[in-house]
Structure 1
């Protein structure tokens, strides 16, 4: 039985990669310094995995920004407009694709970014030409193999990780509609063959090809392409042992013929997300010589492994196909969990002892192997029993306050329909055509972070800290008035993160000190941990929002994070159905919404960027998910008067297959990301005749690039071709927390200028429909 890992977190134990990248971008360090930090992180990761006794250690799972972007770089999928930039080195070219490039006469937008399957990780979307050519452009994978070989003094344990060819094509987008991306399979396969054979030539025995597309509902064409790809590998890569991996769901029932190719020596399945697939897989595997890799350690949550369940699955597999045809591993890459629970010093011991981060999850593989072997000399006899006792003694998971949710219509429906509400809101607010606003947060400067740090160290008391935050709020209100935005926000300076802030205010949720997880590039988040019943005991935002409103005559939005997003962006308790936890959070947010309304706040934004992310990968499970997810949002939003305007925000989602559910949210205004796609994402809203108001993000905040007013005006006009002008808002595509003030002020001024020009042009048109 072999132990292996699919991938390890790459941000560094103290987020060293984040700091190094941002220092490099701001020219505080040179390329050599950046590369040294990368090497140091890799060696740290390899040391952990080697010392844990893994039989196969992943290689090429490290990335300076994104592993999909790395794959594009490896395969030479680099848009021509980036290749035309005069770059000092390949690293700058790489970062320009992710972040855009703006210098003197050069002004190139960043490539599109979207969510990695149903996770909160964002990847850079590959962009394909009709006659796309592929080539080995980058040597990163081969250089990293050599680094790991020098570290281990052998290639025996090295397992390079690559995104499989079919999943890679699936993740990309066509530059135009004249071809289908999957038809590029004939062009890409020869390059994969070259890569696999080159790795084999330098002594690599195992290569991990990630094909999470195998967990989706596949079309006949996709199945045919998969069969073709792996048949080619069998014919032309005979010396390679391919570990075909899939995760996030059960494997599709109709793809077994793909696995029969002789190059596939092992198949990895995710038994955390779908344990029901085991019997079917075993009945097939039994007829072959294929090794089964069993994902028995949860790669997406932080609770300790249930050894009893894992051993049950492993023993069933051993009885079916034998001990030597088994591998054990985490369910997916450990990219989605923090690195080391030992770094957490503030979590109560009763909770902490139930948790395992990436480092501990690797050790759990060792425990499982020792338990299976029955080696009492190495493992204490009571190890399995202790695990069972901890599982059963769930004092922390007892319901603090058991509620029975009787979802009456008045709990999940506004009093009147949108058109009636819209008429009342327009009369009350008297906002101009194309009203301008932002999504919520403003730059979290070094001064604010220092202030927060001083407060944590108790160098400032609560009153002193609050007074400083109030000064920042007054300042941001003045700045927004000078920019001439129509609907203002308070800036969220008191908040570290849009989910973590609420976790600190609600009972039943805790935050970590160092539980960082990569979201995209240098952006890291600390997902809270929901360990018990979620209860709101006091106002969380009302005082701050009302303070901001008291300093302006313009409308100030109340800013809240929605229940589905709090759920999806947290590590969730696993002892009750997830929808019950969602409803608990929803009732807490509803109470906060009503408090804001009672205090005079007339516009309230309930962000739900994770609604699409939570969607199950299989269509058969969609209805159940959207039923409870939409109910959760509507519980939180439906208690207000008709005159109170409810906004929501979503970002980096494919909306085509969920537009009906977005309509069912019944938010008065939805703001979305559509700038990187140049409004292409709006087509699904337009085709569905989206009835409510919409704010298509007019510029990309995830890049330091500053948009011109002409560019924004062009996007406003594109939006006007799809929606009634009276329904369009003008806003950035996301919060401005990660940007600096120099970028923000110029960008927002350009945005408001563009909106004013659009208004004047509309008023000059006699035949305007609106």
Structure 2
């Protein structure tokens, strides 16, 4: 069955930026009020995701209005930050400023608290966090001569700790957002992706690599080949990218498609998406996941209703195509050996009889 999951809520729907800026504030009353405000907003977002039919809800996407800064707190690197308009993210954020002696450590319990909060409500969750390469790319080196990519080896163990903590909470999948893969990358960063994800492969949890806010073109082969269990992309616009995804995706890997707010407009765009939904449903069946559009605060009611209606149509189309396609019988690895033994037995019987 084609699965529906959530990419989270739009940043503009989130409040509480002042919470991150004043974490060290002695005014516990203000902090308590902000924590309660965040809890209420998360539950509203989870209810909206459930109403959209999502079987797995996003946790960790809230980020108190700034996912990059929240991630810096998570990995213990929020000592120095500066304002920036980050690539791959909607709106400005606070990016980390790294030093040559930068250290990382698990520094914030918020992600694990939100997982526990959702689980206490009986919800199935999929945490969404920023991937290690995109996080380092977004940051800046205090010393221009220092290459922040050198910090990768010290950052990855913290990801291992995060995965272990989430696995202990009963989490099955985690989404690692790497919007960096939508850009043209230097060779050193492409090589670093392969090294990092080969190391992370050893850690617990199934991993969904998320490439949002852009199309996989130059790095399609790289992203499809990384040793993770799934790949999430925005709904591809061109037939070339659509076919590339199907051709490059390994047979064991899940493909997740997310409808986007700025999808190709008009009847032609809708027909292309519908045709691709039918094609991937038929080809991938249960290895296909779909995710509804994450609407910004600028989306009007009519636009939201139209995107919701189209997403429901895409889901029905993909599921019907998947059900109409017969599932190939599972191959038995011992069948060839058993056949050879049976043949050998028959031959021996013939020799005895003669």
TM-score using structure 1 length? 0.38
Structure 2 gaps, min length 5: 322-354
Q: Are 1:204 and 2:178 matched, yes or no? A: no
1:49–1:362: 8 Å Cα contact kept in structure 2? Answer: no
Give 1:299 deviation, angstroms. 3.3
**Equivalent residues, number:** 317
Which consecutive residues of structure 1, in runs of 5 or more, have no partner in the other structure?
A: 80-96, 98-110, 343-351, 376-770
Instruction: Give distance in 1, aligned partners of 2:59 and 2:138.
Output: 22
The yes-or-no answer on 1:283 pairing with 2:247 is yes
- The answer as to whether partners of 1:3 and 1:56 remain within 8 angstroms in 2 is yes
Cα distance between partner residues in 1 of 2:239 and 2:213: 11
Q: Which residue of structure 1 aligns with residue 288 of structure 2? A: 326
Structure 2 CA distance for aligned equivalents of residues 259 and 49 of structure 1? 27
Distance 1:193 1:19, change over 3 A: closer
**Structure 2 CA distance for aligned equivalents of residues 18 and 258 of structure 1:** 32
What are the equivalent positions in structure 2 for 1:21-36 lying under 5 Å apart? 30-36=30-36
Aligned with 2:311 (options 365, 373, 378): 365
Give the deviation of 1:314 after TM superposition. Answer: 1.3
**Deviations, residues 455-482 of structure 1 (Å, cap 9, x unaligned):** xxxxxxxxxxxxxxxxxxxxxxxxxxxx
Cα deviation, 1:486-531, whole Å, max 9, x if unaligned, reads xxxxxxxxxxxxxxxxxxxxxxxxxxxxxxxxxxxxxxxxxxxxxx
Q: Report the Cα offset of residue 117 of structure 1.
A: 1.6
Deviation at 1:260, TM superposition (A): 3.4
Contact 1:127–1:174, Cα closer than 8 Å, also in 2:
yes
Counterpart-to-counterpart distance in 1, 2:309 and 2:166: 28
Question: Out of 85, 88, 109, which is 1:139 matched to?
Answer: 109
Matched, 1:214 2:181: yes
Query: Who wins on radius of gyration, i.e. which is larger?
Result: 1
CA distance in 2, matches of 1:10, 1:120: 8
Report how far residue 368 of structure 1 moved: 2.3
Which residue is 2:210 aligned to?
245
1:311 partnered with 2:274: yes
| TM superposition score normalised by structure 2 | 0.79
Match of 2:128 in 1: 161
Task: Provide the rounded CA distance (Å) in 1 between the counterparts of 2:21 and 2:132.
Answer: 31
- The structure 2 residue matched to 1:337, chosen from 296, 299, 302, is 296
- 3-state SS in 1 of match to 2:127: strand
Q: How does 1:336-485 map to 2 (within 5 A)?
A: 337-338=296-297, 341-342=300-301, 352=302, 355-356=303-304, 361=307, 364-373=310-319
- 3-state SS of 1:299 partner: coil
State the 1:166 CA deviation. 0.4
2: CA distance between counterparts of 1:362 and 1:4?
A: 14
Equivalent residue number for residue 118 of structure 2? 148
2:11–2:90 CA contact under 8 A, matched in 1: no
Indicate the residue corresponding to 1:9 in structure 2: 10
- Write out per-residue CA displacement over residues 395-424 of structure 1, whole angstroms, 9 at most, x where no aligned residue: xxxxxxxxxxxxxxxxxxxxxxxxxxxxxx
Cα distance change, pair 196–28 in 1 and its aligned pair in 2 (3 A): closer
Whether the aligned pair in 2 keeps the contact of 1:304 and 1:356 (CA below 8 Å) is: no
Shift of 1:129: 1.0
Query: Which residue does 1:116 correspond to in 2?
Result: 86
Give a deviation string over 1:544-567, Cα, whole Å, max 9, x none: xxxxxxxxxxxxxxxxxxxxxxxx
Counterpart for residue 154 of structure 2: 187
Cα pair 2:224 2:248 within 8 Å, conserved: no
Partner of 2:340: none
Question: Structure 2 matches for 1:713-728, cutoff 5 A?
Answer: none
Distance 1:6 1:29, change over 3 A: same
Change (3 A) 1:309 1:259: closer
1:265 correspondence with 2:229: yes
8 Å Cα contact 1:9/1:338 also seen in 2 = yes
Q: Which is worse superposed, 119-128 or 159-168? A: 119-128
Shift, 1:127, TM fit: 0.9
Listed as ranges, the matches of 1:666-677 within 5 Å are: none
- CA 178–10 in structure 1, closer or farther in 2 if over 3 Å, else same: closer
Tell me: higher relative CO, structure 1 or 2? Use CA pairs within 8 A at least 6 residues apart.
2
Question: CA offset at residue 364 of structure 1?
Answer: 4.5
